[in-house]
Structure 1
């Protein structure tokens, strides 16, 4: 157990060390005056071919650009899925995707969710994987990263920028070079990268076994870096071809954390006060360590009830876990993947202990423990503004954030953003429990069955994509309902928070006085964490009591 905990400490230390330099690199990458000699010629070529003009957009035009271009790409990829059986690069002769499943999959990957109601290796052709899935795995995180940078610019009193320029820079300067290098490393570690069809092998008993292969290496790198999470294979990173050894497992964890941990430093750099970013980074790290500690404790105590029969205590709860990684790395992976809103898994979350499942649910419900690439950090800044607003009310002052007064217009937009998340989760879950189409998919009776449904919609609304895989979700009801939840969970908050940024950017900066509530010290860190737990956690506490907490208390 000590060795396992040491491996976790080393992993997190590496992530902490690289977060700040990557954050500064991100800030420089989205600085329009930075004409990088390596990347700028490629960007100019893209701009000239596509007709993109480097003109600043209002928040309305920026938001409209996000919505329209994403809707067009969803439609194009939907058509690829629907007709993949007649398209090239389909050596395994995979049939066309069902309409509702194609809708769900297109929305899922374009919203950075990667919820998969199909088995990766048998549901999509190579063309669909590369032109459809891989394409969206770059564009979706680039969209979220662009929105986050635009929102930070608005808080800093700068123009929001141009969505198309930001998206191109996000792909060319950030996602593509890192994914290319790490993809080569994954291939060197044993991850397949081929267009050959499924391999048929003869077993030692003389039977035939079909072994799926494909362009997995290129898929895997952006899957983790872009906080996408969808697996090339049905069992995701529990598959030895998708996660062959301890080094690949370490790389995947670091890639999932890389950009979410770097964004607070990007934020501090752009607003001109690095302390602002450090405070948010420390606050989120404290919450992450708390949740990780709960998960590790729960999973290591999973077999306490049968220790009297001679089971070694250090083994912990190994149900559903990959024996190559054990309890510690499985627990760490489950916390990282939900904290970063990635959704990749190296263990089956449906088999986590009740408290282990509670941690993964809480990460997605709060969506602030680092949060995913871009959109998650906007959620973090939303809670920071809420904390400032509540503090201002308590002392009788008009709240100010980065020198801008937070008034009724901004708080109404933030309130709507805050409410849409629980409304989508709890409303959709209520419909699923009420109708046979929903509750017939539940494979576990009692409290765990409630957790299965809540997890599915929480994962969809938070754009995470992991699931309690015991749920029979490959039906029209679940495909359509989760597709709607994923779409609204993604784009509603993008529009409202860009509206907040657009409102703040035109406001006059208020000079700092002795009575100004500072947002770069330890007091604000406490206020921020308090806002997250009081405003965010209490919203979901009743449903958590009905699910994982009740399951834990009845064991």
Structure 2
């Protein structure tokens, strides 16, 4: 086993070693049990008092959603106007301009929704003020929103019958004070000591070997990069994200950032099992997700380590060819691992260029985002998986001739209709959005866009289609990474992806919470000999089959037109 493979194995094992105790800790935090961070209670009490929050108020699922949506709407309005006027506000030593209305619309929806799709370049598109007090702020609160939503699901199944599901504001605040903030501080310190800027200084200048004057962007980067990964956000402080040497200086920081972006999604699954008192179910779900990770990772590693046959025809060696689009300080294996985890957990950060990866790697990246249920983002990954779980329960119940049940609660028509709508939503947004983009690209000709449609794509043919498909898929999955051969900062793409991000974020939160709230309020039915057990290997296999079949039926034609067609068109 070469050292590159050892590096990613060590990264995964370290992630697992942190995620397991973190999951147990989170289960206790949200259950209100004693934990070592209880010294933060006075600080939290001050927040509740200043905000007028009554922490003793119990909320049903509708009140939880009302609080969640209202809060996010306020952030959206605040951030939109800040981005419009940032050029005239303080903390702008480099003199960056305010955003256009369509770009501000896209950017603020993207960061409120935890997607962080960036149609601007980080160091020149925003100021230190908006980097810190709009975008970094939203990276904390959007992650906390997803975690708080998942805890509502936890509460629905903790007791036999549950109408009141705790207090959204408590879950939200604790997600920040007990989890996101303290770990982010540790990560930011490690990044800073490894060379990542953390000051408010303006651009620096130096004279290159060729005699050119080069301006180097700096600023408060380390603190944003910490939460961008821990909160599965992904928005880069610099334009090229974690491929930039300031965002990700060396292999140590590369491992740190890969671990940071996976630990909470993993921990939330483990926390679910411990919170509801069904540890076996938590580990069963974790097992399905982990198998899904490896089924995407192994072929990605194979494709990237093999290099390009097109480059081989030019006499370039396999080792050199495998480095296309990658940073020499990381190598192809670490880049392949990053591209896999960043797409399954909707972080969207990159340490290499996805547009330069092999066609089959692009296929696995797209499929990871289309499934969007293997670990997933902070909290919302479990909500996405819950929809697959309910559909698997429904199909299994029909197969054995019983009314479907989940944890002692009958799954009836209303819950299945909601699950079906949410299941159909992603294909509608992804395929519909790509179809609209393809139509506009091929038929608009001289339409008066900021960037002419004929100039959208740097690559023609199958790869050009993949670039558009990837942009829409990434938006729907709240991922934010992209095939950067697409020129996306124009009215069409800003509006299209902004709408898709909004729908792709909030409807998949509303649906699972509604189902959980409806199921939790139903009369508990004790288990019997005929009860479908959802924590067995057989049911895990059933759930995995549902995930594969649903996504294959939904997306195979689009994938065949893009990465698969590109792969088979290459000489082998």
Counterpart Cα distance in 1 of 2:323 and 2:329? 11
C-alpha offsets along residues 356-391 of structure 1, whole Å, 9 cap, x if unaligned? 001110110000121111111111122112111111
Change over 3 Å in CA distance of 1:269–1:375 after alignment to 2:
same
Which of the residues 425, 434, 449 maps onto 2:439? 434
**Residue 33 of structure 1, CA deviation:** 5.0
Cross-structure match for 2:486: 471
Which of the residues 473, 477, 494 maps onto 1:462? 477
Matches within 5 A, 1:117-266: 117-157=119-159, 158=162, 159-266=164-271
C-alpha offsets along residues 493-551 of structure 1, whole Å, 9 cap, x if unaligned? 21122111110111111111111111112112111111110122321111111111111
Counterpart Cα distance in 2 of 1:132 and 1:18? 30
Say whether 1:302 aligns with 2:304.
no
Counterpart Cα distance in 1 of 2:40 and 2:548? 42
SS of aligned partner of 2:214: strand
Cross-structure match for 2:94: 92
**Residue 407 of structure 1, CA deviation:** 0.8
Contact map agreement 2:196 2:222 (CA 8 A) in 1: yes
**Residue 17 of structure 1, CA deviation:** 1.8
Contact map agreement 1:264 1:281 (CA 8 A) in 2: yes
Contact map agreement 2:16 2:263 (CA 8 A) in 1: no
**Residue 310 of structure 1, CA deviation:** 5.2
Counterpart Cα distance in 2 of 1:400 and 1:514? 13
C-alpha offsets along residues 448-472 of structure 1, whole Å, 9 cap, x if unaligned? 1111111001100100000001101
Counterpart Cα distance in 1 of 2:34 and 2:408? 27
Which of the residues 520, 545, 554 maps onto 2:560? 545
Contact map agreement 2:307 2:319 (CA 8 A) in 1: no
**Residue 428 of structure 1, CA deviation:** 1.3
Matches within 5 A, 1:336-347: 336-347=341-352
Say whether 1:397 aligns with 2:376.
no
SS of aligned partner of 2:171: helix
Contact map agreement 1:447 1:548 (CA 8 A) in 2: yes
C-alpha offsets along residues 216-239 of structure 1, whole Å, 9 cap, x if unaligned? 110111010000000000000000
Say whether 1:355 aligns with 2:356.
no
**Residue 316 of structure 1, CA deviation:** 4.7
**Residue 203 of structure 1, CA deviation:** 1.8
Counterpart Cα distance in 2 of 1:211 and 1:307? 36
Unaligned runs of 5+ in 2: none
Counterpart Cα distance in 2 of 1:329 and 1:37? 38
Contact map agreement 2:311 2:321 (CA 8 A) in 1: no
Cross-structure match for 2:551: 536
Cross-structure match for 1:41: 42
Cross-structure match for 1:523: 538
Counterpart Cα distance in 2 of 1:348 and 1:313? 18
Which of the residues 529, 534, 539 maps onto 1:514? 529
Cross-structure match for 1:68: 70
Q: TM-score, normalised by structure 1?
A: 0.98
C-alpha offsets along residues 399-420 of structure 1, whole Å, 9 cap, x if unaligned? 1111111111100011111111
SS of aligned partner of 2:39: coil
SS of aligned partner of 2:38: coil
Cross-structure match for 1:50: 51
**Residue 315 of structure 1, CA deviation:** 4.2
Counterpart Cα distance in 2 of 1:14 and 1:538? 36
Say whether 1:451 aligns with 2:456.
no
**Residue 34 of structure 1, CA deviation:** 4.4
Counterpart Cα distance in 2 of 1:252 and 1:302? 25
Deviates more, 1:25-34 or 1:473-482: 25-34
Say whether 1:110 aligns with 2:112.
yes
Cross-structure match for 2:280: 275
Q: CA RMSD in A?
A: 1.4
Contact map agreement 1:111 1:486 (CA 8 A) in 2: yes
**Residue 18 of structure 1, CA deviation:** 1.8
SS of aligned partner of 1:250: helix
Unaligned runs of 5+ in 1: none
Cross-structure match for 1:365: 370
Counterpart Cα distance in 1 of 2:506 and 2:415? 18
Counterpart Cα distance in 2 of 1:165 and 1:526? 36
SS of aligned partner of 2:44: helix
Contact map agreement 2:207 2:213 (CA 8 A) in 1: yes
Deviates more, 1:268-277 or 1:310-319: 310-319
Say whether 1:497 aligns with 2:499.
no
Q: TM-score, normalised by structure 2?
A: 0.95
Contact map agreement 2:306 2:318 (CA 8 A) in 1: yes
C-alpha offsets along residues 141-185 of structure 1, whole Å, 9 cap, x if unaligned? 000010011112113344322222211111111100100111111
Counterpart Cα distance in 2 of 1:305 and 1:195? 45
Contact map agreement 1:276 1:520 (CA 8 A) in 2: yes
Deviates more, 1:309-318 or 1:523-532: 309-318
Counterpart Cα distance in 1 of 2:568 and 2:477? 27
Deviates more, 1:435-444 or 1:474-483: 435-444
Aligned length: 555
